[in-house]
Structure 1
Amino acid sequence: MSTTIRLLSYNVRSLRDDRQAVARVIRATAPDVVCLQEMPRFFRWRKHAARLARESGLVTVTGGAPSCGTMILSRLRVAVERAEDLTFPLTRGAHRRGLATAVLRLGRDTRLAVISCHLSLLAAERRAQGELLLRRLAAMDVPAGVVAGDINEPAGGPTFRRLAGALTDGWERAPAGGEFTYPAGAGRRRIDAVLCTEAVTVRSCGVPTAPAADDLVRASDHLPVLAELTV
């Protein structure tokens, strides 16, 4: 028996722009699971996360400060089997980054490993993080898996190609919606992605068209990526 899941990936720039617009975008796309990047991770980060989850009609699964700003939210119908926050090794002088990871259960039999990621701006560090990301997904030992987040590199870059070679680039498999994710006001690059294991079928993937255009521009400097998946 298959289960259809709507998954949204969104870099929200620490909610510095318009938090309510972010919530409206999330509600308009009606996701089951949300992978966030650049959530607040310092002063009162739990309060910011709880407020966004509440305004979006979701609950917090894991992430925040312990995973350096990556986070996973979900609908109440999604059960959390296990969750873990990880940090990447720190390169001196660079911004520390990490992963929010969870094994989710939808219905009686459907299990899905989910990772929210935000990779480095530095090419060498980004490549190393890409390898660690793939190892972490394999270690979760769930056939159906999704990696979603800000790769910080265009689709033709070496780290992006490595990830898309090991996994399925949802955008390439079933493109839908806008063509670019950054910057939000005048997109020129696709640096955000939803990547899946072979046990996940991508029905559609791209920048959603449902939210109001002004909300997309006000909410963040990134556009979200919405994927409809079947497990």
Structure 2
Amino acid sequence: MTITVGTYNVRGMKDDVAALIRVLSAMRADVVCVQEAPRFLGWRRDRMRLAEAAGLRVAAGLRLGSVAVFVAPGVRVLHTESRLLKIFLGLEIRAIAIAVVEVEGARFAVGSIHLDLDEAARLRHATEAVAMIEQVAARFDAAIVLAGDINEQDDKTTWRYIAARLSDCYPRAPKGNGMTFTARSPGKRIDAIFAAQGLQVAWCGGVEADPADLVAATDHLPVVARLVRG
């Protein structure tokens, strides 16, 4: 049983929305974890319109925290929940959006996160997010997929913490050079997809979209992984 999961920081739809829609469509994902989803006036409408324009629908996500999960029409959604993570005075409010989905009879608990620029907050939120999605996955006998904007690279503490509990998909079956930031001049891999150790990774990496659209859509590049559950 296979699932295609993507992650994409859309920068609040502040850039070229038409290009953003084309890139989302080019991801051809069953589930997309979104960061910096619209959060101001009309946020529900804006998220819905973005998802629908790309052939998706909104499954989960709070206004605060600006994370969401979009799913494709053929994906069955069994459960959704969104939770705030620990609030640190003076820092952005962070959250996790989780959707438990069923694809080809297999269940997956997919979580979207956007971690902080502050190192201590980033690690605290990562530990909370991993614990939360583990609890949800256990209730539904679902394989875990956690994806998002980690705001650090793979040699740092928070990334290593997540990768010790879930597998970093890109090194297992890389597609492209893996760099995600900035979209205009990609030199860092700060966006990632992590999956339960038991999931096989067919491939993970960049999206085959018009290079001009990738630059115009937002300041991050998307990541997509094809995962197999036996």
Question: How far off its partner does 1:74 sit?
Answer: 0.7
Structure 2's unaligned 5+ residue stretches are none
Q: Is 1:188 paired with 2:184?
A: no
Aligned residue pair count? 226
Q: Distance in 1 between matches of 2:101 and 2:15?
A: 30
Is the 1:40–1:64 contact (alpha carbons within 8 Å) kept by the matching residues of 2?
A: no
Q: Distance in 2 between matches of 1:200 and 1:23?
A: 29
Structure 1 runs of 4+ aligned residues shifted over 4 Å read none
Q: Distance in 2 between matches of 1:143 and 1:41?
A: 29
Q: Is 1:24 paired with 2:19?
A: no
For 1:18-97, list aligned pairs within 5 A.
18-66=16-64, 68-97=65-94
Question: How far off its partner does 1:207 sit?
Answer: 1.5
Residue number in structure 2 paired with 1:102: 99
Which residue among 183, 205, 211 is the counterpart of 2:209? 211
Q: Distance in 2 between matches of 1:25 and 1:153?
A: 24
Q: Distance in 2 between matches of 1:195 and 1:92?
A: 29
TM-score by length of 1: 0.95
Question: How far off its partner does 1:29 sit?
Answer: 2.1
- Secondary structure (helix, strand or coil) at the match of 1:195 reads strand
- Secondary structure (helix, strand or coil) at the match of 2:174 reads coil
Residue number in structure 1 paired with 2:107: 111
Amino acid at match of 1:159: T
Structure 1's unaligned 5+ residue stretches are none
Question: How far off its partner does 1:76 sit?
Answer: 1.3
Is the 1:39–1:64 contact (alpha carbons within 8 Å) kept by the matching residues of 2?
A: no
Q: Distance in 1 between matches of 2:62 and 2:204?
A: 25
Q: Percent same amino acid among aligned pairs?
A: 37
TM-score by length of 2: 0.95
Deviation digits for residues 111-150 of structure 1 (CA, Å, limit 9, x no counterpart): 1000000011100001111111111121011341100100
Q: Distance in 2 between matches of 1:62 and 1:182?
A: 25
Amino acid at match of 1:133: A
Q: Distance in 2 between matches of 1:179 and 1:75?
A: 24
Is the 1:144–1:198 contact (alpha carbons within 8 Å) kept by the matching residues of 2?
A: no
